[in-house]
Structure 1
Amino acid sequence: MKRRPAPSRPDDLVVFLGPSLPEEEAFALAPCRVLPPARQGDVWRALSLRPRAIALVDGVFEAQPSVWHHELLAALDAGVTVFGGASMGALRAAELAEHGMVGVGHIFEAYHRGELVDDSEVALLHADAEHGFRALSVPLVNVRHAARLAKRARVLVPREAQALVDAAAALFYQDRTWPRVLAAVAGTWRPTTRAKWEAWAAGGLEDLKREDARACIQAAAAFVASGARAAVRVRTPRAAPSSYVRRRRLVEGLCAVGEELVASEDVLEALREAPDAAALAEEGLRRALLAGWARTLGLVPTTEEVARAEAEWWAHLGVPSEEREAWLAACGLDAHELRRVCEERALERLTLEHATRLLPDGPSWDEALTTEARLQGRWVEEARGLVTPKRSRRKK
């Protein structure tokens, strides 16, 4: 008998949504957690919810930093399938399609084919969260779509349709409303054209961003409902995240402690004040430097070596297997980050085990033991312990 997928929970699908589609429509389409338009760091924070898929529809820009490519790549690395469409999602999906982000909808396809290139095509002015992110202007992609449909319906001839698009493109995106667009094109349209347009548009103009937003959420929901695992779609090799990106993720991240979310930045601040902060940092630096050096020498740990490093780590922590998922969530580690940490441990071990071969006259195990024992005072302790007290020798 074929096993049915387990029922999905709302956090399995995280949707970043704003003016493209009302929140209640997203809930009607699928069980999901709806978050406001994504800004920089929001996708990193969303990973603490352990989603199976993310649907990026809307995102901020201009006044606030936009959602970063690095955080979307981090989500993909963590095994989360990321869908994008309609607005900011269509832009990022077109830019990251070769790395595995799934683009959905007509707007994504237009960006992916190079027919649309400017971010301003999807830009619009909208209200704040209190007013449901209601759109206050019309995006250029919707004007293009209306002109295309009107031309197909023989309401506009090609010259008139292009004039409509040109008039809309000449307006600043925050000022682009249908009354202003029609006022701007009035000088190039005949009165009969305007009458035909008004009669045709009276039935309502199709909102392309809204349709694409629905399609994006439906595609992500279908993936979650299928119970399928994230497909490996990465086709283009890429460099590891830079130190700056890693620090930003550390600051922006969240840890899930039971039902509560704790900011990684707050945990880090507490650790900075801990009595053993310097010792922890120095130990971490040594491991990172040894692992980095090993990589430059071409050392690559095998799957078995990484697994052994992870097993030794769990044994050292004493965390039972049934508690490990919750422990990782509280630690702010996803599957990809856990592997990275264990790879560093494995590389450190490889470097230490082959120390004599890594340098022309590399240090031996006994040399290392001796030096560290002397620095920590252990050498003197052992030496004194081996001295026979004089009184004991006299009694003999």
Structure 2
Amino acid sequence: DPEAQVAAPFARPSWTPGGGSPPLTSLLTPENPTALVSWRWESPPNVTISGFIRYAKRVESAEILWITPGGKTFVLASSKDTDMLRVDIDGRDMSFKQSLGLSPFEDAAKTLFPERGSYTLAALPADNIEEARVTMEMPGKKRGLLGTDQRGRDVFRLFLFGIRISLLVGITATLLAAVIGLGVGLSAGYAGGLFDALVMRVVDILLSIPTLPILMVLAGLWGKGLWQLVFILGIFSWMGTARTVRALTLSLRETCYVENLRSLGAPTFYILRRHLLPEAFPLLMANVALGVPAAILAEAGLSFLGLSDPRIISWGRMLQEAHGFGAFSTGAWWLILPPGIGIAVICLIFLDIGRTLEEMADPRLKKEMAR
């Protein structure tokens, strides 16, 4: 689950120098009723203890102790006249802080880890233990390849899930725009006359309207769902494809074989489907590849402005949350660079693919680039 908390908030990537401790886990078992913890860092952000100890027979008192390098002993859990000791402790719990003699505003982790050195986690009594599984977890200030965000989630996992959403929105919205643009461009270019002029004026008007404000208004009116966003991006991205396909159709409409087909009484739909569409398809694919970066950037912009579904993880949403929780001001670069670089790299890849497809569809472009 990418939403699961895996470590302390704002934990740095594990490969960075400094920045505190990695996450550690200490385990008590029947074979090892005492565990040594070598601590070489500052105090962890939190401590959790969970598990149980079952004895072969009842004991007067069962305890789990924590001994600091200075010899100070803390009773983490205890029970009288029992054959089983259960423990489920979070260092942030008020009751646990009170059991350590702390106020609600003091940090239990700093009290349990006052210095660097060797600590001891021990179960008493250590004999007659039939079954035991006690885990003491110290979520460190370093975690994983890209650290954690403000909620302790793994940034690398969020980054991978963001690829899926960004590509889904970018490709789907661009395909929708390509289908609309293909239909409008073919019909306007082949029909010509007043219909062509009217359609092109509508295209010019839509191209003159600033896209982002319109997308913001429609996203606010139609909701923040994923498919609403895809639909909004698709219906406001088809104009460029329509003009390109229309220009190609105008040139093909006057060719000899199209004139011959018309003179033989071939239906318009047959001419468009059988002859003009295959000619326009390579150029259409190039336009699709070139349109994906624009859709990805638009989705990232809307997500950054808070106009996308907050339940969906995307690179734009990651940047929006990083900005909202102060990553830019606190220097938490591992929350900013991965989604930012990811958006840039994906856009450059699709731009390169689109340029290559354009050169394949029109070899004259390759000659112009070679000059």
| Interval containing the TM-score (normalised by the shorter chain) | under 0.3
Q: Which has the higher strand share?
A: 2
Identify the structure with bigger relative contact order (alpha carbons < 8 Å, sequence gap 6+).
2
Q: TM-score, normalised by structure 2?
A: 0.26
Q: Which has the higher helix share?
A: 1
Q: Which is higher, the Rg of structure 1 or of structure 2?
A: 2
